A and B are shown apart, each in its own frame.
Chain A
Amino acid sequence: MSDDTAGAAIVLEDVRRSFRSGRRSVEALAGVSARARRAQITGLVGPDGAGKTTLMRLIAGLLRPDGGRIEVLGVDVARNPLLVQARLGYMPQRFGLYEDLTVAENLALYADLQNLSAGARAARYAELMRMTGLGPFQSRRAGRLSGGMKQKLGLACTLVNPPQLLLLDEPTVGVDPVSRRELWQIIEHLVRQARATVLFSTAYLDEAERCDQVLLIHEGRLLGSGPPEQFTAAMRGRSFIATAPIDRRALQERLARTAGVLDTVIQGGRVRVVTSEDSPDIRAISAAVPDLTLTPIAPRFEDGFVARLRARGADGPAAAAGTGVAQAQPAPYAQQAPGGREAVIRVSEVTRRFGEFTAVDKVSFEVKRGEVFGLLGANGAGKSTTFRMLCGLLPPTEGALRVAGFDLRTAAAVARRRIGYMAQRFSLYEDLSVRQNLRFFSSVYGLSGRRQRRRIDWAGGEFGLGALAEAKAGELPLGFKQRLALACALMHEPEILFLDEPTSGVDPLARREFWRRINVLAGQGVTVLVTTHFMEEAEYCDRLLIMAQGRVLTEGTPDAIKAAARRPERPDPTLEDAFIAAIGTGGAPQAP
């Protein structure tokens, strides 16, 4: 293996690190051994809380390992962290941009910090501006940039003095698919042209497929390493697209309970199926649903991850969540929500201005009862503003919004009882226990006495939170935080549910479990409005609305939006392809 070591930019040997959280000790990394090769992109892939950031900080010499050895570019990090730091560039999750400085000033500041000689600056700035496409925005304050542009500027600042090794900690989080693709192009260019070594951490599993090598970590352990094809190769012949003339949710439900099926995911009007056997008994599965067609498709990275997680059995919280998916049908509400299929959310000609800037420009759409509706858009497209207006957090400048027949800005507080809201990053009271959170949110929604006790018991049982009732919300693993947040939003059985990037960063099994619950709710007549950057989530929606520059770009079912992006060279576009195509063609400002 000496040959391998010579080509390795990073060598990890049995790296361990724990943190204290209150009285408990949490093992963030439980013995990780791996290598990252020079002049390649190594993906550090895993859900939030897997230990990615800890590993990055250990490699950068910002943390000391409890045990094991880390060698970076041939230097032992523990012995000589300063030498290592001089040779690497590290872009943490929240890169330290100075929001009150302009793009150019930020760049100059980092050039000063990294001792870039005055003579080399002009050429380097021009190169970075060209690479990131930030040239036209040099005099804009960093605080006024969109999420994607901020990440690009952060990357540019990290690259001012070209490092031999680049550590990028989740640079694509909160970044829309278009900017995400651009960031990837910059990084790939860097590796191919400048022969830099990149360690790229991400919770988006689809990004793993763009890496040369993948280190898949989960709960502090290395689940596998190798080129991404190696993960998918094992899954060859096990992935199918299922179609049948019944509702897609019912189809998924049936398939999930069929023997021999490992995993099911809704994709538009179809269901993606992964079988548990290498040589699947297609006929047995086909028999489970009348008129089922199974079309083989190429496996993807996520299939491999899910298979590994399921194979590990019920020894982790995420795995426990996984087994929950295949079990009994959850029954969130006692009763079916009343009413027919009329529109419960109506947005007509809504405009929102912030000073001179028009964030939302004459947007109109409707959402019917029981529909799962997705609001998509690039960073700064106005979808968050629209979402906040719908929730009553922001008044529109012009136009009218009606949610369940009310404008939530002006309606009596009681009207808000009909909606549930789950914020991004699961806004829970982290110092309070699970039970205290549940009690608080149910009381605030007017629940009391027996009904309140019943709902708290329901949440404890339904979401597997019973045993954790006295644990502080802040100390829960991410998957459980997400469950608690959903439980809190559902305590009062709202008929409309607002979700803001509900499964960003959680592991694939937790995401499946979450959407399974949402599907059941929709089946009971609950209307769900989701805003997300995450195309996986968008696939679950009945209908999507894509916004760009404050306007509605396109609206339709995921399948229709994909179909519109079909080209001869791209016969079966993904939703991400379709999204990027839509933004690309319609993103330019339109004449009024």
Chain B
Amino acid sequence: MWRRVLALFIKELLAVLADPRGRWLLIGPPLIQLVVFGYAASFDLNHVPIAIYNQDRSQASRDLAARFAGSPTFTVEALLSSGRRVNELIDSRQVEAVVLIDRRFTRDLYRHVPAPVQVIVDGRNSNTGLLIEGYAGSILTAFSLAWSRAHGGNPPPAVLDARALYNQTLDSHWFIIPGIIALLTQVETLLVVGLSVARERELGTFDQLLVTPLRQLDILLGKGLPGLLVGLAEASIIIAATVLWFHVPLRGSLAALYLGLLLFVLAVTGIGLAISALSATQQQALLGAFLFLVPSIILSGFATPIANMPRWVRELTLLNPMRYILVIVRSVFLRGSGLGELLSQLWPMALIGIATLAAAGWLFRKRVT
């Protein structure tokens, strides 16, 4: 049996690798995507265009405005002399926020009563809006602390002293790039496996395979193992690029990471084979793959935290292998986790893998009839 599976395995790899275009497709696009996503995808706000309307025109208010201008987060696009253009600037997206320093600002500071500063934020992208509010708040806090230190008076009653573990500078690339490892591994594995059976069906070679002594299990293995190998190779390339190019620290156990990836690729291979078994043409297989890919990414915690999702969606994500591998990749990279801590993420993937492979085998048999 193993000799036959090996023959199919070699044939599959040859079919993928013999074609220069096939080789390039496995290495080129993932790396390009990694680089593009790696630079493009970020939650950090940089150079947000803002306008400042300083009604106070005093030493203190200029000092505060300078803090906004000097922050890497903001770029001051306009200094307003009246309130007329505030709405227009935000409406036309020339600025994302307007800082209004009230006429009584300095007077209130010296009187030790709360000095009013208003931030008007473009709320169309709620996420950015919240972040702008947060950044503005921290600039104001820093200003208040400095002011009370220099001029006496009551310091703010409670001060937040935040310190980030694992990612000290809260660089969101460190969060996103390890996620891309899981994302690209899933996409490539799914496509390699998902299209392989459909392609043979289209060419008519699948019938030829079915009349050979190969059994369903042999075909499943012969088709699945190359996907496993390709998926792991793909992951390795991206991991190397993550560490060497983006300098994201890889702190934890490599063994744990690879065990996780192995189980993840296994589960994805099962899904790919099931899609393949259901499709009569490559086009259908491609559609099926994307039908799975999009929800699996959105419901994985790749971009939006699973904790924010409603309960029933949260429970749905338990079926999504990407949810687990994301936890594993991120903890191994940033927290330095080892095998022991990740067991709770490993076994569900193993379970999903067994289930999807069994389902693929069953669909195979069903579809063949």
Q: Please give the residue numbers on chain A whose beta carbons come within 8 Å of chain B beta carbons, in ascending order.
A: 388, 391-395, 408, 413-414, 416-417, 419, 421, 423-425, 427-432, 436, 439-441, 443-446, 448, 472, 498
12 residue pairs of the A-B complex, CB under 8 angstroms, read A414-B213, A421-B207, A421-B208, A423-B205, A427-B207, A429-B11, A432-B14, A432-B18, A444-B4, A444-B214, A445-B213, A498-B211
Whether A421 contacts B211 by the Cβ 8 Å rule is: yes
Chain A CB within 8 A of B36 CB: no
B contacts with A, residue count (CB < 8 A): 26
Q: Shortest CB–CB separation between residue B213 and chain A, in angstroms?
A: 4
Given contacts A427-B203, A431-B15, contact A416 B213 (CB under 8 A): yes
A52 to B134, CA, bound (A): 72
Q: Please give the residue numbers on chain B whose beta carbons come within 8 Å of chain A beta carbons, in ascending order.
A: 3-4, 6-8, 10-11, 14-15, 18-19, 203-205, 207-215, 218, 368-369
Whether A443 contacts B204 by the Cβ 8 Å rule is: no
Q: Shortest CB–CB separation between residue B7 and chain A, in angstroms?
A: 3
User: Smallest CB-CB separation from B208: which chain A residue?
Assistant: A427
User: Smallest CB-CB separation from B217: which chain A residue?
Assistant: A413
Given contacts A431-B18, A448-B3, contact A392 B204 (CB under 8 A): no
User: Smallest CB-CB separation from B7: which chain A residue?
Assistant: A443
Interface-central residue, B7, B18, B210, B214, by most chain A CB under 10 Å: B7
Whether B212 contacts A444 by the Cβ 8 Å rule is: yes
* Neighbouring A residues of B203 by C-beta, 8 Å: 427, 430
Interface-central residue, B7, B207, B208, by most chain A CB under 10 Å: B208
Q: Which 7 A-B pairs have the closest CB atoms?
A: A443-B7, A413-B213, A427-B204, A421-B211, A427-B205, A444-B212, A427-B208
Whether A431 contacts B14 by the Cβ 8 Å rule is: yes
Given contacts A440-B11, A443-B3, contact A416 B369 (CB under 8 A): no
Q: Shortest CB–CB separation between residue A438 and chain B, in angstroms?
A: 11
A9 to B368, CA, bound (A): 50
Q: Shortest CB–CB separation between residue B123 and chain A, in angstroms?
A: 46
Whether B15 contacts A424 by the Cβ 8 Å rule is: no
A448 to B4, CA, bound (A): 10
* Neighbouring B residues of A395 by C-beta, 8 Å: 369
* Neighbouring A residues of B215 by C-beta, 8 Å: 413
A-B pair count, CB < 8 Å, reads 76
Interface-central residue, B8, B203, B211, by most chain A CB under 10 Å: B211
* Neighbouring B residues of A440 by C-beta, 8 Å: 7-8, 10-11
B3, B7, B213, B369: the one contacting A394 at CB < 8 Å is B369
Whether A446 contacts B204 by the Cβ 8 Å rule is: no
B4, B11, B210: the one contacting A446 at CB < 8 Å is B4
Given contacts A393-B211, A416-B211, A431-B14, 18 further A-B contacts (CB under 8 A): A393-B210, A408-B211, A413-B215, A416-B212, A416-B213, A421-B208, A427-B203, A427-B205, A427-B208, A430-B203, A431-B15, A439-B7, A440-B10, A444-B4, A445-B213, A446-B4, A448-B3, A472-B18
A378 to B19, CA, bound (A): 40
Given contacts A427-B205, A444-B4, contact A413 B214 (CB under 8 A): yes
* Neighbouring A residues of B10 by C-beta, 8 Å: 440
* Neighbouring B residues of A443 by C-beta, 8 Å: 3-4, 6-7
Whether A429 contacts B15 by the Cβ 8 Å rule is: yes
A139 to B54, CA, bound (A): 75
Q: Shortest CB–CB separation between residue B198 and chain A, in angstroms?
A: 15
Whether B205 contacts A428 by the Cβ 8 Å rule is: yes
B8, B11, B208: the one contacting A436 at CB < 8 Å is B11
User: Smallest CB-CB separation from B211: which chain A residue?
Assistant: A421
* Neighbouring B residues of A419 by C-beta, 8 Å: 211
Whether A432 contacts B15 by the Cβ 8 Å rule is: yes
User: Smallest CB-CB separation from A424: which chain B residue?
Assistant: B204
A432 to B208, CA, bound (A): 15
User: Smallest CB-CB separation from B215: which chain A residue?
Assistant: A413
Given contacts A393-B211, A395-B369, A446-B213, contact A436 B205 (CB under 8 A): no
A393, A428, A445, A448: the one contacting B207 at CB < 8 Å is A393
User: Smallest CB-CB separation from A489: which chain B residue?
Assistant: B208
Q: Shortest CB–CB separation between residue B26 and chain A, in angstroms?
A: 14
User: Smallest CB-CB separation from A472: which chain B residue?
Assistant: B18
Whether B205 contacts A431 by the Cβ 8 Å rule is: no
Whether B204 contacts A444 by the Cβ 8 Å rule is: no
* Neighbouring A residues of B7 by C-beta, 8 Å: 439-440, 443-444
Q: Shortest CB–CB separation between residue A408 and chain B, in angstroms?
A: 8
Given contacts A432-B14, A446-B4, contact A441 B212 (CB under 8 A): yes
* Neighbouring A residues of B11 by C-beta, 8 Å: 429, 432, 436, 440
A427 to B207, CA, bound (A): 9
Given contacts A392-B211, A446-B3, contact A425 B8 (CB under 8 A): no
